[in-house]
Structure 1
Amino acid sequence: MRPQMAARPLHLFEAGVVTETRFAGMAAAPGALSEHFVTRLGPEKHVRVPFNPRDRWVTAAREACRTLGDAIGSSLRGGATCAVLGGECTLVAGTLAGAIPVEPDIALVYFDAHGDFNTLATTPSHYVGGMCLAHVCGRSVAPLLWPGSHKIAEDHVALVGGRALDPGERTNLDRSKVTRIRFDAERADVSGIIAFARKRKIWLHVDIDVVDPAEVGAVVFPAAGGVSLALLGEAITSLASVSDVRGFEICGYDPTLDAKRKLPRVLADLFSALGAKVLA
């Protein structure tokens, strides 16, 4: 049993937030995923967050993150558990903006093949999604700051995976208080994840590129050497067994790269096991 955890309703959010035209495929991910997640998780509430970029992608992402944050905060205050279908990882700026005022001590467990810990001083690409974890930790990425964002203390953050880092990003992480947990094909430190999460309130972020691209190829930034889907499932359900998961988000899926649309059902099955733990 999870510590101090009563049964809660589930609120499901679709938030296809992306910040550049070239990643527009990820904006369609929530629509591709939602049917299967609704069936498997049975949410009490289902919300589609508007995302209307036209030609102003970053502005639209800011607006969607603000709307998402308000909705997350309202759901958490009402005692619900939140599930978010993204979109790119940038949406974490919205979800944490909603979660932190309600749960000031919440910890972030961030599964990703990458670090997302660049700043404007270190980024080789200026991709906002590659700076979003640094942003929510309070690192300066002006002028791309999300209005209304709330800083999370670095010692409340665990980066799980992070096998594909830019040089400057690696330096940023080395100088931070973020906990880094190995999670790849050579070593998957599930015990380290459990130790970090134990008896904490958790916001769980999962970019599916943490899984090896041989098994999950429908991602924009594939990185060889990832874990299996089965091991990811084991890790997140183990985490949920020892912590109070207040919300979780799934990012990085691009349905335009999944011609047979096999992944939505697979992911819904995997996360329904997490839901069973979280909502028990």
Structure 2
Amino acid sequence: MKEMNTVGIVGVPMDLGQERRGVDMGPSAIRYAGLQDRLLSLGYSVIDYGDIPVKGRSPVQIGDANLKNLQSVVEASLNVKESVMKMLKDDVFPLILGGDHSISIGTLAAINEKRQNVGVIWYDAHGDLNIPETSPSGNIHGMPLAVNLNLGHSSLTSIGAHKIKPENIVLIGARALDEGEKELIQRLGIKVFTMHEIDRMGMTAVIEQTISHLKDTDGVHLSLDLDALDPMECPGVGTPVRGGITYRESHLAMEMLAESGLITSAELVEVNPILDDRNQTAEVAVALAGSLFGDKLL
């Protein structure tokens, strides 16, 4: 992690990007699991900016291309962007708590205003690279990475003035990619470590190659979807996929990223307490955040 003494936390209690309710309670669950105390114990100052306002679900309107809750997601994304830009202005490390993964539309829109050559690590079972024409569901939480490549509905792509370069993206943990996403990955040459590569190479090699791939960026945003981990480790997520990354592999990844000094912002998303077992998934999120911020076994 980049040397910053203060971590800023903002919650985005949003479940508009998908159909399964409950993920809007993710920020509260992560806070309840002791995030602030963990960061304080590591020597950081913490500013909790609270939660951004998120309105209810919106009806489909003409021009929505059947994207669910499009107008509400756009409004929430603009609020996220404004909040993260304030954190960047305050010169704190932005740590954003979700909420479904569509919150990344606003997060990355803000970060791209600050940094000209941002790198992104997408730690996720899914690619989130769908556009309206390829999405099987119309759920916007499957589109935020595409939006930040300037692909998709104009109401979404217009939220951020600057976009990510395809060569500055690394996907880790992918194991549920739609056909349109596979085609886009191959066409744009996006670097992906599926579970096959993780199993075959090991997490150490995956993170070493990720660090090498992103070393020339001017900062790296980590977008950590808890469904990257196996559902046995993280049952409280909206779209679980069997055969995922282990708890210990994820700690190793976070520890190596901490040592690299590349990470300049992060988000923890898709924690759904309704589907969880005694807040287990939120506790994993806090534990992984601890490793990302320098916590060590010895």
TM-score by length of 1: 0.89
Q: Which region of structure 1 is more displaced relative to structure 2, 66-75 or 84-93?
A: 66-75
Write out aligned runs for 1:170-209 (5 A): 170-183=182-195, 186-187=199-200, 188=203, 189-198=206-215, 200=217, 201-209=219-227
The amino acid that maps onto 1:28 is M
Contact 1:197 1:239 (8 Å CA) reproduced:
no
The one of 231, 245, 260 aligned to 1:242: 260
Cross-structure match for 1:46: 48
Contact 1:181 1:193 (8 Å CA) reproduced:
no
Structure 2 residues not aligned, in runs of 5+: 60-68
Q: Which region of structure 1 is more displaced relative to structure 2, 168-177 or 259-268?
A: 259-268
Deviation at 1:110, TM superposition (A): 0.6
Would the alpha carbon gap of residues 44 and 216 (structure 1) be closer, same or farther in structure 2, given more than 3 Å must change? closer
Structure 1, residues 40-85: CA drift from partner, whole Å, max 9, x if none? 1245311211112154543332222212212212222332101011
Write out aligned runs for 1:62-81 (5 A): 62-81=74-93
Distance 2:113 2:156 in 1: 18
Structure 1 residues not aligned, in runs of 5+: none
Cross-structure match for 2:273: 255
Write out aligned runs for 1:80-99 (5 A): 80-99=92-111
Contact 2:39 2:46 (8 Å CA) reproduced:
no
Indicate the RMSD between aligned Cα atoms, in angstroms: 2.1
Distance 2:18 2:292 in 1: 32
Cross-structure match for 2:291: 273
Identity across the alignment (%):
24
Contact 2:58 2:70 (8 Å CA) reproduced:
no
Deviation at 1:183, TM superposition (A): 4.2
Distance 2:57 2:150 in 1: 29
Would the alpha carbon gap of residues 13 and 89 (structure 1) be closer, same or farther in structure 2, given more than 3 Å must change? same
Would the alpha carbon gap of residues 172 and 16 (structure 1) be closer, same or farther in structure 2, given more than 3 Å must change? same
Would the alpha carbon gap of residues 182 and 172 (structure 1) be closer, same or farther in structure 2, given more than 3 Å must change? same
Distance 1:78 1:178 in 2: 32
Instruction: Name the SS of the counterpart of 1:263 in structure 2.
Output: helix
Cross-structure match for 2:28: 31
Would the alpha carbon gap of residues 183 and 235 (structure 1) be closer, same or farther in structure 2, given more than 3 Å must change? farther
Contact 1:199 1:243 (8 Å CA) reproduced:
no
Deviation at 1:144, TM superposition (A): 4.8
TM-score by length of 2: 0.84
Structure 1, residues 159-207: CA drift from partner, whole Å, max 9, x if none? 1122111112211111113221234662342322232233641110011
Instruction: Name the SS of the counterpart of 2:279 in structure 1.
Output: coil
Would the alpha carbon gap of residues 20 and 10 (structure 1) be closer, same or farther in structure 2, given more than 3 Å must change? closer
The amino acid that maps onto 1:52 is K
The amino acid that maps onto 2:103 is L
Contact 1:198 1:242 (8 Å CA) reproduced:
no
